[in-house]
Chains A and B, each alone.
Chain A
Amino acid sequence: MPANTDNDLASANDLMPGRAAAVAALKDVPHVPGAPKPDPMLVADHVSRQFGGLKAVDVAHVEIQRGAITALIGPNGAGKTTLFNLLTGFDKPDTGKWTFNQQQVAGMSPYKLARKGMVRTFQLTKALSRMTVMDNMRLGASGQLGERFFPSLLPFLWNAQERANEVRALELLGRFNLDAKLDDFAGSLSGGQRKLLEMARALMTNPEMVMLDEPMAGVNPALTQSLLGHIKNIREEGTTVLFVEHDMDMVRDISDWVIVMAQGQIIAEGPPDAVMRDRQVIDAYLGTHHDQALTKDGTSLTQDSSGE
């Protein structure tokens, strides 16, 4: 995959109606934590989760705009993944309610939430190692008759559905450059390829919203560019994306809206450029005294800070 230059990306952004629509819709949204969105897909209220004495998540209000790429960022231990786990039903909150497509979904089992169209990936990639890439993809398809116990014994009932799913899987694998690996065990793929497979597998469910937990972690820079392209494509096809990420450059490049968490709470919201200038955000990431000299007399510790 050739790495795109910045110019290419900038011009590509202009060619993305999904991005334009998302940016336009979010234009008038105030840059404050818990800001109301014009067309929220997910709305959460008072979601909290305590681990012993530590309040890992304490979110008063958050809304995720439909059809946009929203990034959830924050320093380590900010509670991003915990919030993810809570919203997707993989962990139970101490308090809180949230709606998905205006429907109360708090306390719902994770598999039911996934069926409603809210599909997640994991920070530690969960490729099903001893299954082939194609089987991983086939597993993703929802509503399969052959997955029920008794019908599974009668292949003529589900063969047609299976073929249709395979066509779709092939198309997705082609997009994610995995079509040469069809019959390889998923466990034999590289870390980055597994991330791609997990994302492709999630898309097999035809989700309305994909929640990606650190999709770039452990992926080499060349593959990162292609991953970014894939995530943008997901939005262009009308799917809402919420993702957790550390890398600010990446977030700046692809997200339409950024939510910043620190110590379990949402401390800032806004478009990427505005958020990255936010005093609170910089402090949360770098510490309150990051721009003050470390030495008493104010001289720099490094010989030449500009020479890069």
Chain B
Amino acid sequence: MDFGIIFSQTLTQAIGITAIIYCLAAVGLNVQFGYTGLLNFGQVAFVAAGAYAVGVIVLTFDLSLWLAILVGILASTLLALILGIPTLRLRADYLAIVTIAASELLRLLVRSIAFKDTFGGAQGLNGKLGQQFHDLNPLPSDFTSLPVLTWTRQDLWVVIVGWLLVVLFTLLVWGLVRSPWGRVVKGIREDEDAVVSLGKNVFVYKMQALVLGGIIGGFGGIVWAVAKQSVQPDTFQPDFTFFAYTILLLGGAARVFGPIVGAIIFWFLLAGVGELLSQMIQAGYIDFLSATDVGSIRFILMGLGLMLLMIFRPQGIFGDRRELALDAR
């Protein structure tokens, strides 16, 4: 057993590209669910919209990646409007139902044979999706690897820009929620009718939150497509959304740094448990499991960990227990 490898692998994943993608999705959810109280159970649809915008514009239409990013933002906005206009006037649960259905609908749509020429069917779109971005890589071409963190030159470039995006959106969210705008959306989370009775147009605020959270999630998809150079429909399953929720609750909902810390801890634990188990099986310490079981076992342990979190620290890492106690009234 090599604890050095376990540690370096775990850390690389904990702050790696996947963690960034989930973190962006969770930052978006934090705006929607954490601050505004919108139950968006289809965040993966926004991520898919961003990713497919890059795939379709760059690969299918052979246009610029920068245009693709713009289209990704527009696609997320449009999706938020389509989902929001009919449901945001209704009770909160309608949005939850519509969003989870829409996310699956979107996935099945892009993987359908009818649109194979545009979206690539079940195989998705694979190719040099992020080439224009990778061409800008300022890292020296003889770069091999950082100590401990085992990213390639290309991955490190994505990681740097990815975390910059996270910081940028976190700053944006921080600026918004400390302002009177943030006060209104928090009020909506607490009691919509009370906010209406004070003369605020609640629908507009909910829509703004849904669109903003969607765009941030869409950026997660853009990062995904650029980093992995591939967009596949079946990676956009509903469990993506639930992992993003897990990350948000882990860090603490309605806390600016919640999604960042949540994403890092989530992937640190998930990767760490996986690496540790693999190494133990390889070394023969565990003989009742095979290497192929590790993938599912780590999620079982993750689930157990989350249950313990909910029992002993239901407010998440950054949350305030006093707020939670008020909720029960």
Binding site for B on A (CB under 8 A): 88, 90, 109-112, 114-115, 119-122, 126-131, 135, 138-140, 142, 144-149, 152-153, 155, 158, 162, 185, 187-188, 198, 201-202, 204-205
Q: Determine if A153 and B184 form an interchain contact, defined as CB atoms under 8 angstroms apart.
A: no
Beyond A114-B197, A162-B180, list 20 extra A-B contacts (CB 8 Å). Answer: A109-B201, A110-B197, A111-B199, A114-B196, A114-B198, A121-B197, A122-B194, A129-B329, A130-B326, A139-B183, A139-B184, A144-B180, A146-B179, A146-B181, A152-B182, A158-B179, A187-B327, A198-B194, A202-B197, A205-B198
Which B residues have a C-beta under 8 Å from some C-beta of A?
172, 175-176, 179-184, 186-187, 189-191, 193-202, 208, 322-323, 326-327, 329
**Could you write out 22 A-B pairs with CB less than 8 Å apart?**
A110-B196, A114-B196, A114-B197, A122-B193, A126-B191, A126-B193, A128-B194, A130-B323, A131-B183, A139-B183, A140-B198, A144-B180, A148-B181, A149-B176, A149-B181, A152-B179, A155-B179, A185-B322, A187-B329, A198-B194, A201-B198, A205-B198
Q: Evaluate whether A120 and B179 lie within 8 angstroms (CB atoms) in the complex, with A128-B191, A131-B190 already known.
A: no
Q: Are A130 and B179 in contact (CB under 8 A)?
A: no
Chain B's nearest CB lies how many Å from the CB of A101?
15
A222 CA to B180 CA in the complex, in Å?
A: 35
Nearest chain B CB to A43 CB, angstrom units: 22
Tell me which residues across on chain A come within 8 A of B195, comparing CB atoms. Answer: 128, 139
Chain A proximity of B256: nearest CB distance (Å): 14
Q: A152-B176, A152-B179 in contact; A119/B327 too (CB < 8 A)?
A: no
For A128, list chain B residues within 8 Å (CB): 186-187, 190-191, 194-195
Tell me the minimal C-beta distance from B323 to chain A in angstroms.
5
A109 to B196 Cα, complex, angstroms: 9
Q: B190, A129: Cβ atoms under 8 Å?
A: yes
Query: What residues of B have a CB within 8 angstroms of the CB of A139 in the complex?
Result: 183-184, 187, 195, 198, 200
Contact B184 A147, beta carbon cutoff 8 Å? yes
- Cβ B196 vs Cβ A111 within 8 A: yes
Residue among A111, A121, A144 with most chain B CB within 10 A: A111
A140–B322 alpha-carbon span in the complex (Å): 24
Q: Is the CB of B327 within 8 A of A130?
A: yes
A145, A148, A185, A198: the one contacting B323 at CB < 8 Å is: A185
Known: A139-B187, A147-B184, A185-B323. A111 touches B179 (CB 8 A): no
Name the A residues within 8 Å of B186 (CB-CB): 128, 130-131, 135
- Distance in angstroms from B85 CB to nearest chain A CB is 15
In whole angstroms, what is the CA distance A162 to B327 when docked? Answer: 28
A202 touches B198 (CB 8 A): yes
Report whether A119 and B180 are in contact in the complex, using a CB–CB cutoff of 8 Å.
Answer: no
Measured between beta carbons, the chain A residues less than 8 angstroms from B181 are 146-149, 152
- Report the Cα distance A155→B180, complex, angstroms: 9
Assess A152 versus B180: contact at CB under 8 Å? Given A130-B186, A131-B187, A205-B198.
yes
Complex Cα gap A128–B201 (Å):
17
Asked if A126 and B183 make an inter-chain contact with CB atoms under 8 angstroms apart, the answer reads no
- Are A120's CB and B197's CB within 8 A? yes
Chain B positions within 8 Å of A142 at CB level: 198-199
The answer to whether residues A138 and B197 also contact, given A129-B190, A152-B175 and a CB cut-off of 8 A, is: no
Cβ contacts under 8 Å, A111 to chain B: 196, 199-202
With CB as the reference atom, state the residue of chain A lying closest to B193: A126
CB pair A146–B180 under 8 Å, yes or no, is yes
CB distance from A120 to the nearest CB of B (A): 5
Instruction: Note all chain B residues with C-beta closer than 8 A to A121.
Output: 197
The smallest beta-carbon distance between B183 and chain A, in angstroms, is 5
Are B208 and A149 in touch, CB under 8 angstroms?
yes
**A129 / chain B contacts, CB cutoff of 8 Å:** 190, 326-327, 329
When chains A and B are docked, how far (Å) is the Cα of A135 from the Cα of B322? 17
Chain A contacts for B191, CB-based, 8 A: 126, 128
**Are B198 and A158 in contact, CB atoms less than 8 angstroms apart?**
no
How distant is the Cα of A210 from the Cα of B176 in the complex, in angstroms? 31
Asked if B183 and A138 sit within 8 Å, CB to CB, the answer is: yes
